[in-house]
């Protein structure tokens, strides 16, 4: 990820700062998280984040899938099922987009398998990889090979799905879908909140200054995970942004049998229950009279540590057995990006630019986030 920041993010921000032009920070973050998630999951960098801002069909296909999934939430099931059967409307777009994504993913899987085969002792090689070189596909292939070796000569046969490329494709698709737009949406709202609250921005910069020597030989120095853990105020700012603007604004579950909800409402079997994570983040009953204010201090105890808030209250990452698997990774990514950008650039929202959420399964900004960027000197 550090490589992506220094070789992708910094050159783009330098470029727009030199030209003095406006840039859509949401688009920049979208490209950043797409590249970064593909690197983490597939070990492949699509390089969407470069100065010429290229449009790649498979990146746009992921966006089309998101739109079609939202459509499925707002029309009756029978309607989208008929559209799917007739291959028309949003369902037609969805199946075309999935074809593009599948072509991309199966190509990456086949390249990875080739690379994996040519390695002499695959398991050792994977173990020796540096953290920055880690990718989920290789990890799954190593695990698959270990399972196959264990079962050799054994009566039991490995599940054919687990052995198939389809399994690797499903893992890759799920992780890319789960990781790319969630972090991007969170970063966009977070930056908008920080740059429109100058005192918050000042405190973050002070916290970096107090804790670290941010430059080494005049160059920006990335912080280690343990170092980022010291940035309590920044952690609170991220939690507060995710409380007000959870990347996944709503969620739904279907009951498999009749049940009674904690609210006392009775539901029949096969009932769809929608939960608005967005509303829960701004409810007075849950967060108190100042629930609508952006107040990072609410997360910090008198002793100066982070107050633990249970996941059924701070629900941005969901609660219970299907909670987000990427929470720690998210905080690491967001802290790395915020410290790198704020320390090196001064970012300002274009005056009068309309900011509003869009209706989608992901809480994006409807019109993006247009900003001007200039190099910061002497923090």
Q: Which stretch binds ligand HEM (CB under 6 A): 49-57, 193-201, 310-318, 343-351?
A: 310-318
Q: Which residues are annotated as a binding site?
A: 324
Shortest distance in whole angstroms from residue 193 CB to ligand HEM: 14
User: 270 by DSSP, 3-state: which?
Assistant: coil
Token duo for residue 195: 């740059």
Q: Per rule CB under 6 A, is residue 307 in the interface with ligand HEM?
A: no
Shortest distance in whole angstroms from residue 33 CB to ligand HEM: 8
User: 101 by DSSP, 3-state: which?
Assistant: helix
Q: Per rule CB under 6 A, is residue 325 in the interface with ligand HEM?
A: yes
Return phi, psi of residue 376, to 5°: -100, 135
DSSP 224: P
The secondary structure of 348-367, three-state, reads: EECCCCCCCECCCCCCCECC
Sign, CA dihedral 128-130-131-136, equals negative
Q: Per rule CB under 6 A, is residue 247 in the interface with ligand HEM?
A: yes
Shortest distance in whole angstroms from residue 361 CB to ligand HEM: 9
Shortest distance in whole angstroms from residue 308 CB to ligand HEM: 18
Q: What is the distance of C-alpha 81 from the center of its chain?
A: 29
Q: Which residues are annotated as a binding site for heme?
A: 324
Q: Which of 330, 336, 339, 344 contacts ligand HEM by CB under 6 A?
A: 330
Q: Measured from the CB atom, is 17 or 247 closer to ligand HEM?
A: 247
Q: Per rule CB under 6 A, is residue 318 in the interface with ligand HEM?
A: yes
User: 301 by DSSP, 3-state: which?
Assistant: coil
Q: Measured from the CB atom, is 203 or 243 closer to ligand HEM?
A: 243
How far is the CA of 81 from the CAs of 95, 100, 212, in angstroms? 13, 21, 56
Q: Per rule CB under 6 A, is residue 316 in the interface with ligand HEM?
A: yes
Contact 188/25 with Cβ under 8 angstroms? yes
DSSP 9: I
Q: Per rule CB under 6 A, is residue 205 in the interface with ligand HEM?
A: no
Shortest distance in whole angstroms from residue 42 CB to ligand HEM: 12
In the chain the first and final C-alpha atoms are separated, in Å, by: 24
Contact 72/64 with Cβ under 8 angstroms? no
Query: What angle separates helix 89-118 from helix 57-74, to the nearest 10 degrees?
Result: 130
CA gyration radius, the chain:
23
User: 344 by DSSP, 3-state: which?
Assistant: helix
- Residue 170, C-beta contacts closer than 8 angstroms, at least 6 positions apart: none
Q: b or e along 215-250 (b: 16 or more beta carbons within 10 Å of the residue's beta carbon)?
A: eeeeeeebbeeeebeebbbbbbbbbbbbbbbbbbbe
Shortest distance in whole angstroms from residue 251 CB to ligand HEM: 5
Measured from each CB, the residue nearest to ligand HEM is: 326
Q: Per rule CB under 6 A, is residue 345 in the interface with ligand HEM?
A: no
Instruction: Give, as ranges, the residues between 168 and 197 that touch ligand HEM (CB under 6 A).
Output: 175, 178-179, 182-183, 186
Q: Per rule CB under 6 A, is residue 317 in the interface with ligand HEM?
A: yes
Q: Which of 114, 157, 322, 378 contacts ligand HEM by CB under 6 A?
A: 322
192's torsion region: left (phi>0), alpha (psi -120 to 50) or beta?
alpha
Q: Per rule CB under 6 A, is residue 17 in the interface with ligand HEM?
A: no
Q: Which stretch binds ligand HEM (CB under 6 A): 6-14, 86-94, 190-198, 323-331?
A: 323-331
* Stretch 76-115: interaction string toward ligand HEM, x if CB under 6 A: ----------------------------------------
Q: Per rule CB under 6 A, is residue 337 in the interface with ligand HEM?
A: no
Q: Measured from the CB atom, is 13 or 324 closer to ligand HEM?
A: 324
User: 370 by DSSP, 3-state: which?
Assistant: strand
Instruction: Give, as ranges, the residues between 250 and 269 that touch ligand HEM (CB under 6 A).
Output: 251
Q: Measured from the CB atom, is 16 or 39 closer to ligand HEM?
A: 39
**Footprint of ligand HEM (CB under 6 A):** 175, 178-179, 182-183, 186, 246-248, 251, 316-318, 322, 324-326, 329-330
């Amino acid at each position: 990820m550090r490589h992506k920041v220094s070789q992708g993010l910094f050159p783009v921000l330098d470029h727009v700062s030199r030209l003095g032009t406006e840039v859509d920070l949401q688009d920049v973050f979208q490209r950043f998280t797409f590249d970064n998630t593909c690197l983490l999951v597939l070990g492949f960098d699509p390089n969407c984040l470069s100065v010429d801002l290229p449009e790649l069909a498979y990146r746009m296909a992921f966006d089309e899938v998101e739109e079609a999934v939202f459509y499925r939430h707002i029309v009756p099931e029978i309607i989208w099922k008929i559209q799917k059967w007739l291959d028309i409307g949003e369902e037609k777009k969805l199946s075309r987009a999935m074809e593009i994504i599948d072509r991309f993913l199966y190509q990456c899987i086949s390249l990875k398998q080739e690379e994996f085969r040519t390695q002499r002792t695959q398991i050792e090689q994977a173990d020796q990889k540096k953290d920055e070189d880690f990718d989920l596909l290789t990890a799954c292939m190593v695990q698959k090979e270990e399972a196959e070796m264990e079962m050799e000569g054994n009566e039991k046969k490995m599940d054919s799905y687990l052995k198939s490329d389809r399994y690797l494709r499903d893992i890759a698709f799920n992780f890319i879908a789960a990781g790319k737009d969630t972090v991007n949406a969170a970063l966009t709202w977070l930056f908008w909140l920080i740059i429109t609250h100058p005192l918050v921005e000042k405190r973050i910069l002070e916290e970096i200054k107090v804790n670290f020597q941010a430059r080494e030989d005049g160059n920006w120095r990335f912080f280690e995970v343990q170092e980022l853990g010291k940035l309590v105020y920044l952690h609170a700012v991220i939690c507060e942004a995710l409380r007000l603007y959870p990347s996944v604004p709503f969620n739904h579950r279907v009951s498999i049998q009749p049940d009674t909800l904690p609210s006392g409402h009775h539901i029949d079997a096969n009932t769809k229950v929608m939960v608005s994570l967005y509303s829960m983040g701004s409810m007075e009953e849950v967060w108190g009279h100042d629930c609508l204010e952006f107040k990072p201090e609410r997360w910090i105890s008198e002793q100066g540590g982070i107050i633990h808030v249970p996941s059924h209250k701070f629900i941005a990452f969901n609660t219970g057995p299907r909670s987000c698997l990427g929470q720690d990774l998210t905080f690491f990514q967001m802290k790395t990006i915020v410290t790198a950008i704020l320390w090196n650039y001064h970012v300002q929202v274009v005056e009068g630019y309309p900011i509003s959420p869009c209706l989608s399964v992901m809480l994006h900004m409807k019109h993006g986030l247009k900003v001007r960027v200039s190099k910061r000197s002497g923090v």
